Each structure stands twice: as C-alpha cells, then as structure tokens.
C-alpha cells in the first residue's frame, strides 16, 4: 500500500471496509474486528489513527504487528490470512492490517469448541462502519455460501406463500413476525426464511444493533 492509497482510505473515514484504531487494545476486541471483515467484504484495520481521522501513529509497529499476527492465528477460528503494511505519514508510523474476504466463512472468536455452536459461538460481521454479532440466520447463510450448497428442488410451500403475501403489504418481515403469523416456532420460522434467502427469493439485512429483517429479492 502506498501513501496515496492510504490517504484516500483515511479521507473516506470509517466505513464497511475500513476501521481506525488508536492502539492495539485486547486480542478479543481486535479478533472480533478482523473476523467481521473476513466474514463480510474484507477490509482494512488501521492502527495509529483516532476516530476523528487524526494521525497519531503507534509507538512500536513491530509490536503491533506481532500482536495482530498472533491474534489472527490464535483468537480466530479458522485462523485468518492477513497482510500487514507499514506506512509513515506526517512522520508518524501507521500499521495497516489488510483482511481479505474469506472463502472459509464463518470465522468465529476462539471458543475451544470442536465445531461452531449456533448458541455459543461468537461470529461477527460488518454493518456500515461497525462490527456486530451475527444472528443464527446470518451464520447459517454464511455457512451455506462458503460450502456452495445449492438448494435442490426447493418447493414453495404454504409458509413461503404467506411470506410473499405479507411482503406485498409490508416492506420487511422478521423471524418473530413470521412465527406469529403462521403460528410456528421461531426456530422453524428462521429456517424457512434462511432457505428463502439461499433460494434467492429473499434478502437478509442487518441493523447496526444486530437485529435482522428480510425483504423480497430484487
């Protein structure tokens, strides 16, 4: 990464694919940020810049890099492949961590479990300029996307028809709304909506508070 590219990133500010950090805080917090990028569109974590885009720099770029590499390897499951760049701006040293979008989603925070647990594992994604915890629905979708599992002979049943009818009058639907609408468990409602997303019939959206809703696919 050169000076021009870095300056452009800083000028754009924090967004879906860029986050500023004044310093390395804790492995868990940094892992959540990197996991969110890997599970979404990829992005950059820049150390040495505050939220107001002021260039402060880091005390030791080598120390930050070592902590980041260790975090990517030991606090992210599966481990993340990252690239680190060192760039000096205004006499201050910055550490830029480049996290590509992963082909092995979903990544989760180290929990020492043999397999991902929908009820216990912490999976994060990027929403606008924030990293938020993914819902069970989003985790299922990430798993399906990563494994390229296609829905074979997907049949539109009565519940799906009710979803389509509901969306003719409402802009969106949630798991809880579908559960009440057709008197089924939230677990079953969740699976119905996830399958509809995988069949490209619906789109899933995540709010900055982590809440999710579904709309008709364009």
pLDDT given for residue 49 in this prediction: 95
Query: Rounded distance, CA 84 to CA 147, Å?
Result: 28
pLDDT per residue, tens digit, the chain (218 aa), is 788 888 999 999 999 999 999 999 999 999 999 999 999 999 999 999 998 899 999 999 999 999 999 999 999 999 999 999 999 998 999 999 999 999 999 999 999 999 999 999 999 999 999 999 999 999 999 988 887 666 667 788 999 999 999 999 999 999 999 999 999 999 999 999 999 998 888 999 998 888 899 999 86
Residues 172 and 127 in one domain: no
Residues 127 and 156 in one domain: no
Q: In which domain, by residue range, is 172 found? A: 143-216
Residue 38, phi then psi, degrees to nearest 5: -65, -35
Q: CA angle at residue 167 from 166 to 173, to 5 degrees?
A: 85
Residues 126 and 148 in one domain: no
Question: pTM here?
Answer: 0.87
Give the domain-ending residue among 84, 101, 133.
133
Query: Rounded distance, CA 52 to CA 10, Å?
Result: 10
Residues 127 and 157 in one domain: no
Residue 138 within a domain: no
- State the CB neighbour count (10 A cutoff) for residue 205: 13
């Amino acid at each position: 990464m050169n000076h021009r590219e870095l300056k452009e990133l800083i000028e754009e500010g924090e967004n879906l694919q860029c986050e500023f950090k004044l310093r390395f805080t804790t492995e868990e917090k940094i892992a959540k940020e990197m996991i969110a990028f890997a599970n979404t569109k990829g992005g950059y974590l820049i150390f040495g810049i505050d939220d107001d885009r002021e260039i402060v720099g880091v005390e030791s770029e080598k120390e930050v890099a070592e902590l980041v590499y260790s975090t990517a390897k030991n606090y992210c499951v599966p481990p993340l492949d990252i690239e680190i760049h060192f760039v000096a701006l205004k006499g201050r040293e910055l550490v830029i961590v480049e996290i590509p979008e992963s082909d092995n989603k979903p990544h989760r925070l180290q929990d020492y479990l043999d397999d991902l647990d929908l009820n216990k594992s912490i999976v994060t994604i990027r929403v606008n300029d924030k990293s938020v915890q993914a819902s069970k629905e989003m985790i299922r979708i990430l798993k399906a996307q990563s494994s390229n599992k296609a829905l074979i002979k997907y049949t539109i049943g009565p519940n799906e028809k009710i979803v389509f009818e509901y969306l003719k009058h409402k802009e969106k639907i949630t798991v809880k709304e579908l559960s009440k609408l057709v008197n089924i468990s939230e677990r079953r409602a969740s699976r119905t909506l996830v399958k509809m997303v995988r069949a490209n019939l619906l789109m899933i959206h995540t709010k900055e508070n982590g809440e999710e809703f579904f709309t008709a696919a364009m």
